[in-house]
Structure 1
Amino acid sequence: MSAGAGWQPPAYPYDRLAPLLAAAEALPGGVVDLSVGTPTDPPPPPVLAALADADRGSALRGYPPSVGTAALRGAAAAWMTSTFGPAAAVDPDRIGACVGTKEFVVTLPGWLKLHRPGRDTVLYPAVSYPSYAMGAELAGLRAVPVPVDEQWRIDLSTISDSDAARALALWVNTPGNPAGGLDDLEAAAAWGRDHDVLVFSDECYAPFTWDGPPRTILGHGSGPSGTDGVVALHSLSKRSNLAGLRVGWYSGDAGVVGFLREVRKHAGLMVPGPAQAAGVAALGDSSHVATQRRLYLARLERARDILADGLGLSCALPAGGFYLWVEAPDGDAWALAGRLAKEAGVLVSPGEFYGEAGSRYVRLAMVAPMAKLDLLAERLGC
């Protein structure tokens, strides 16, 4: 049977790296993979203990609550307050669990379209995580990129009145992936209120904010709780090296969170019970996050110096996150990615994966251990 003329998915971005991966793997010592932001450091011991104990209380045998257990939502609420301060305090009943944050990002536009059928547009930063645009596309909606400024922050002043009038949601991302920019979240919340547009703030890299304290959009919305019209999204994938467990949560506007909690029940979206128990343990321990911060910052500084000394490539450290965002000298990111793979055995992501506006850059994820960066330095003679 022919596939017909319907929508066909594009090639998954990281699958396009296969030829570069083969070239990097051919070098003695193999590839130094800095392409995908997959954590490689060990998860904290309390999480492993919680997983080993997971069958107590029927965590394995029973269906887990889609909205998240009371323990997980309570731990998330406590973490929000301890991390961002009293202004970010949120009731556990305004929190919902998600199966990692990517599924939330990608499924959100479809749910919102049911909620507000008169709108058809998702706004997102022009240089950003590709799932913001893909979520809109999969829902049959308009995905409209919003330009970013020279510091890789979303430029709200460039949004047209016509796009604002059609918008279901505006995505902001702080710290930003891939370039590490820090959006003005208070301004984003105000823009959303002024234009009757829900603002979703992806804050999954917040624990790795280097320029000032971690920040959240909660506390900047309208109303006494500071959450009206805004929703924050968080994850344990990066904070606690738990990408494989798929534990995230969303919190904020009571009406929006309540709607999403109910519709997601019907869709059968549930974080597995053992993963929720492990999430409680992870949120209750902050020492491993401090250790991880030191690791990522040391790797960022080391990789920056290697690129400068070994290849003459200069780049600034990000304001947040654990990626280096490096401009190709001649503007050809794929050529630079190929050179890095062949000469240094390092696999990186061309910036076009994150939007056309990033096509002159490559992204390096600081997820490899320091020994791998030392191998990279050795290959480049620095």
Structure 2
Amino acid sequence: MAQTERFSNLPEYAFPRLRALLSGIQPGGEPVVMTIGEPRHPIPDFVAPIMADCIALFGKYPPNEGSAAMLEAICGWMSRRHGLEVVPDHITSLNGTREGLFNAALALCPQQKNGAQPVILIPNPFYQVYAVAAAAVGAEPVFVPATAETGFLPDFTALDEAVLKRTAIAYICSPANPQGSIADEDYLERLIHLADRHDFLVFADECYSEIYRDTPPPGALAVASRMGLSDRVVMFNSLSKRSNLPGLRSGFAAGGRTAIAQIRRLRSYAGAPLPLPAQAVSAAAWADETHVQTNRELYHRKYAVADRVLGNVPGYQGPAGGFFLWLPVEDGEDAARTLWRDAGIQVLPGAYLSREVGGQNPGKGYIRVALVADAEETEQALNRLKETIYD
């Protein structure tokens, strides 16, 4: 396949599609945007002073893999959060997880798997960079339904052996975007055993891992390490959701030494290292849990609001983690237009986060609603939403 053709079958990105869908429609109320997963809670108090103290470091080239202080802070967090004793050369810094989730496929996907075109397994619905990564490396994307019937997680174990034989990488997001489902330890163990049996890597997207109701979601790398199979997993996380710092563009990947070395090698040619002042802020953020707990409590209030307002809606399922509602509707595009026209509420049709397979799009009957505003604004908006499309 020619390089210019690799991306020809990718649908337009979700937000331009939404703008086109709502074009010419006047909002039927004070506009409330509940589409994008951009946290609006306060950033930690220590960010500005650290940035100011380190301002002169913008005059230096930063280390590509991350400063010693930042890598040590991440190692410390991995130990406290996951019980993992990770050394710095098993970690690399990233410009947010999106860069890493894409570049890791470039660095680690083989040109062939068992003499054939490699397969990359992708949950459906999914974070769209997974499909773009598959296209970039010339792999065949296999979209695995993550529906109510499967607990809103992909059942990779149900795939045909011929597909698994060609599989090079499987993406998994937990808590899931958009459904908020969490892969428990049993699920992760089954997936890691499958990866070991069929010789593929698991890319664990855990950027929502610190936003949850009660029990911290297990980490795939921690599970794999207990199984003696840590080389099977590359995990990704960032400060965007955990610390309300999406603009800092600070994330990391962690995994086996060989995998991380390959990702670091690619980044040394094609990556953009995180500026040193941002790395200093990152080190402080990974070392502190107080602001994370405060942040989580704010989401707990909104979980309670959503449960109270929407709890009697047929098919409603409050998220176990993350900050999205995955709400059942007859048709996501129709619901999005109606909400904007009649209530001034902007939501994302679920079909824009999914791919049609076999004539079915698993997101068509849903809308994604981001709980990023404060609890009062969220409650007002959800009441308007309910009155408009459910009552």
Same fold (TM over 0.5): yes
C-alpha change, 1:255 and 1:32, in structure 2 (3 Å) is same
Unaligned runs of 5+ in 1: none
C-alpha change, 1:167 and 1:265, in structure 2 (3 Å) is same
C-alpha change, 1:132 and 1:325, in structure 2 (3 Å) is same
Question: Which residue number in structure 1 is paired with residue 358 of structure 2?
Answer: none
- CA offset digits 1:211-250 (Å, max 9, x no partner): 5223101233368865221111111000011111100001
Question: Which residue number in structure 2 is paired with residue 337 of structure 1?
Answer: 336
**What TM-score comes out, normalization by structure 1 length?**
0.89
The CA RMSD over aligned residues, in Å, is 2.5
Q: AA paired with 2:138? A: G
8 Å CA contact 1:146, 1:158 repeated in 2: no
1:363 correspondence with 2:361? no
C-alpha change, 1:253 and 1:115, in structure 2 (3 Å) is farther
Which range moved further: 224-233 or 67-76? Answer: 224-233
Question: Which residue number in structure 1 is paired with residue 43 of structure 2?
Answer: 43
User: Aligned ranges for residues 160-309 of structure 1 at < 5 Å?
Assistant: 160-183=160-183, 184-210=187-213, 212-221=215-224, 226-307=229-310
C-alpha change, 1:129 and 1:151, in structure 2 (3 Å) is same
Which range moved further: 116-125 or 101-110? Answer: 116-125
Q: AA paired with 1:81? A: S
Unaligned runs of 5+ in 2: 355-360
Which range moved further: 206-215 or 123-132? Answer: 206-215
1:152 correspondence with 2:152? yes
Structure 1: how far apart are the matches of 2:14 and 2:227? 43
1:97 correspondence with 2:93? yes
8 Å CA contact 1:23, 1:345 repeated in 2: no
Q: AA paired with 1:78? A: G
Q: AA paired with 2:103? A: T
Question: Which residue number in structure 2 is paired with residue 109 of structure 1?
Answer: 105
After superposing on structure 2, the runs of 4+ consecutive aligned residues of structure 1 that deviate more than 4 Å are 4-7, 19-25, 114-119, 222-226, 377-382
- CA offset digits 1:62-81 (Å, max 9, x no partner): 11111111111111111111
Structure 2: how far apart are the matches of 1:240 and 1:255? 29
**Residue 378 (structure 2) aligned to one of 364, 370, 373:** 373
**What TM-score comes out, normalization by structure 2 length?**
0.87
Which range moved further: 206-215 or 226-235? Answer: 206-215
- What displacement does 1:375 show? 3.9
Question: Which residue number in structure 2 is paired with residue 61 of structure 1?
Answer: 59
Q: AA paired with 1:208? A: I
- CA offset digits 1:129-159 (Å, max 9, x no partner): 1221121123332111123343112212222
Structure 1: how far apart are the matches of 2:385 and 2:90? 51
Aligned length, in residue pairs: 370
Structure 2: how far apart are the matches of 1:114 and 1:190? 20
Q: AA paired with 2:366? A: Y
8 Å CA contact 1:95, 1:250 repeated in 2: yes
8 Å CA contact 2:7, 2:135 repeated in 1: no
Structure 1: how far apart are the matches of 2:26 and 2:239? 30
Question: Which residue number in structure 2 is paired with residue 133 of structure 1?
Answer: 131
Structure 2: how far apart are the matches of 1:27 and 1:223? 54
Structure 2: how far apart are the matches of 1:381 and 1:145? 31
Which range moved further: 116-125 or 154-163? Answer: 116-125
